[in-house]
Structure 1
Amino acid sequence: MDDDLNNLIADFGSAGVSQLNQHQVHPRFREFKNENKEKEKQRQRRQDALERQKSAREDFVLKLRGLINSTPKKDTSPGVQRPRPNREFADQFMTSEWLVDIPEDFEEWVMVPCPSARRCLLVASNGVTTAYSKKGFVINQFPSHLPGGNYSQHKNSLTILDCFITERRHRESSSETSKTSENPKRIWVVDLICWNDLSFTESEFDCRQFMLKSRLEENGNLHEQSAKNPYAIVALPWCYCKKEAMTEMMNREFDFELDGVLFYHPKVLYIPGQNAMIGWLEPWMMPEILDVPIPERLQKPENRGENAKDYMARFESVNSQSMYIGGADRYTGRLNIQKDVEMNEQSDKSCALDLSNT
């Protein structure tokens, strides 16, 4: 089971929709003199990615089938052992790029605010839940109420989620005061890959979000911390990219420190690799790029006087070997910092692929 799981995650990369090197400078910044040409190239890259994902998803589906049909092995070794870091888990997230050209159908896209926390691949299988970092190392292992996540229920099931995980202190802001409080152990889910042996890799993003919300709501125990569920597991909020909805979202008081915002094409499938159908902005960029107002607490005084596109270009010029790709490889996104902070079983068959009977 462990070998199959390693092979599954390792093969994420081979199914990527984009051939872009994440360490290369964003194509949008190569020719500032011809912005219309660059916008057309961006639109073409998004269309190409939409076409490539139709075939790229098949490899991952086959790997999931093999994993489900395998026989889980119970760990009989004495004591509590932490799994060794596995490089095969590295770089297996579906990642974004700076949102520099706004697509014509942008109001149909989905906006997801993201916390300042570690990105992790959460895998519940064989009675244990494991959080893997972007670099492929084990962040933590623990029981959970996810299918496959503990020995008392559905231990032979498989669940895979794209998440952010934190145990750090965070700031709670209000219009009058700002205070620091202890943040409970929490996992925020940004995307659904597999749930209780049902693969959602052939589902479009907006469908995955609907199914994720319903699955988490069906199991209220996931939202609460307990001995069998030490991390509260909740879905991140989202909205469609209409100005009124985005404005309301940006003015919310989140229970986490806002790091930035991801923008998903509604039809994007979950296939690892950098994807032109996913964009990223830091909060202070929203007024300039999208004409969406933000509260004063999200302003960045150090960025005043510099427009967002110049900042992006300058950032990528300085950080060509640590390109900020929004949420997935959670770099700080500040030019003066170079450090990687890494910081229901009756599913709608049109939205999920049941792997348990294949």
Structure 2
Amino acid sequence: MLSEWLVDVPTDFASTYLTVPCPVGKRSLVVSGRGRTRCYTKSGYQVNQFSSLLPGGSRRNNNMGYALLDCIWSESNKTFYVIDVMCWFNQPVIECDTFFRFEWLKSRLDEEAVGINTISKYNTMRFERLPYYESSPEALSKLFGDGGQLPFSVELDGILFYNRETHYTHGPTPLVGWLKAYMIPEILGVSVAEKYAKERPAKYISLPKHIEYAKELKKEKKEKTGFLLCSYYRRILKVWSLANQELVLSENHRRPSCFSVLSNSYRQMEEVDNHANISPVICPLGVIPRINVEDSDLQNHMNSINMESRSS
């Protein structure tokens, strides 16, 4: 359940939304079950596995089902800050409203996960629940104004605003808003402490301008990345074609070493394709990423490579 920028504020915002301050960290999905606890990124990659006192999260309670928690991982103090809950002890709550999920999470952590906020043999990572607050101007001023006290010791990243009656949905939703602390006076008309006002970037004008500027940067980055990936993918196809060609035409059908084939093919490819003048893109996880190329263009490119191989 991801947020969107809180641009349009409803008239009943104070009574229909809940405020959750969020520390600096990485959004994570924590899944416990079968005697282990696993942590996943927003993209779905598993990044950690450990023992915890969550249901089914360690050998001590591996018969207690499973749990799914929406968390923020803080690297500075090695703590998972729990925002929301999707399932607890095999009981899914994604169809329940926000207020019920927050209260259910609070009661379950207090009653059934005693000791989860301390490091122990069966709980190697700390978990702390992020409290929620009312969204009235008085509550926001008390929380983010002068003298306000945050519920965590790390730096504030931003604020999530949850609609009270929304269910847990997958992906971004306009029913969960996001603001930086210095944006609160502009959007909600509530003054904040000076330390938050100083975080405002020098080029920041307004939230709509900021969103438009971010979209332009994302578009430019996507175009640049797409060009690099297309060039890299063309190079991969060329290397593969030349390597196959050299294997087929090798003398006495002796199979040369893979290193010599690829090095010779890559050298020939560079001589042919030196106009690209780019460095190969190093792909994480060792997987060639999917690129946005039309099937017809890719098929034409493959046909041209096959014709070059036959002609030579």
Q: Normalised by the shorter chain, which TM-score bucket?
A: 0.5 to 0.7
Question: How far apart are 1:279 and its partner, in Å?
Answer: 0.8
Matched, 1:105 2:12: yes
Residue identity opposite 1:310 in structure 2: K
Structure 1's unaligned 5+ residue stretches are 1-93, 169-182, 324-358
One-letter code aligned to 1:158: Y
Aligned to 1:221: 115
TM-score under structure 2 length normalisation? 0.65
Please show how residues 182-331 of structure 1 align to structure 2 within 5 Å: 183=77, 185-218=78-111, 219-250=113-144, 251-253=148-150, 254-299=152-197, 300-303=199-202, 306-320=205-219
Unpaired runs of 5+ residues, structure 2, are 223-312
Residue 121 of structure 1, aligned match among 19, 29, 38: 29
What RMSD, in angstroms, separates the aligned Cα atoms of the two structures? 1.9
Q: Distance in 2 between matches of 1:229 and 1:236?
A: 19
Q: Within 5 A, what are the aligned runs for 1:38-57?
A: none
1:257 counterpart letter in structure 2: E
Equivalent pairs, count: 215
Bigger drift between 122-131 and 135-144 goes to 135-144
Give the structure with the larger helix fraction: 2
Deviations 1:116-174 (A, max 9, x none): 10111100011100010112111211000001101111435110000011223xxxxxx
* Residue in structure 2 matching 1:144, options 52, 77, 100: 52
Deviations 1:47-89 (A, max 9, x none): xxxxxxxxxxxxxxxxxxxxxxxxxxxxxxxxxxxxxxxxxxx
Deviation per residue, 1:323-349 (Å, 9 max, x gap): 9xxxxxxxxxxxxxxxxxxxxxxxxxx
Residue 163 (structure 1) aligns with? 71
Post-superposition shift, 1:208? 0.4
Q: CA deviation at 1:290?
A: 0.5
Report the secondary structure of 2:138's partner residue: helix
**Alpha-carbon offset, residue 243 of structure 1:** 0.7
Contact kept in structure 2, 1:149 and 1:155, CA below 8 Å? no
Rounded to whole Å, the distance in 1 between the matches of 2:90 and 2:220 is 38
Q: Which residue type is aligned with residue 232 of structure 1?
A: R
**8 Å contact from structure 1 (residues 127, 156) kept in 2:** no
C-alpha distance in 2 between matches for 1:214 and 1:280: 26
Question: Does the C-alpha gap of structure 1 residues 161 and 311 become closer, same or farther in structure 2, counting only changes over 3 Å?
Answer: same
SS of match in other structure, 2:61: coil
For 2:161 and 2:149, the matched residues in 1 are separated by: 17
Question: Normalising to structure 1: TM-score of the pair?
Answer: 0.57
| Distance across 1 between alignment mates of 2:220 and 2:41 | 19
Output the CA distance in 1 between the equivalents of 2:120 and 2:172: 36
Give the Cα–Cα distance (whole angstroms) in 1 for the partners of residues 220 and 65 of structure 2. 39
Note the C-alpha offset of 1:318: 2.1
- State the SS of the aligned residue for 2:101: helix
Matches within 5 A, 1:34-73: none
1:39 match: none
Which consecutive aligned stretches of 4+ in structure 1 deviate over 6 angstroms post-superposition? none
**More relative contact order, 1 or 2 (CA 8 Å, 6+ apart):** 1
Q: Structure 1 residues 294 and 111, CA, compared in 2 at 3 Å: closer, same or farther?
A: same
What is the rounded CA distance, in whole Å, between the counterparts of 1:100 and 1:192 in structure 2? Answer: 26
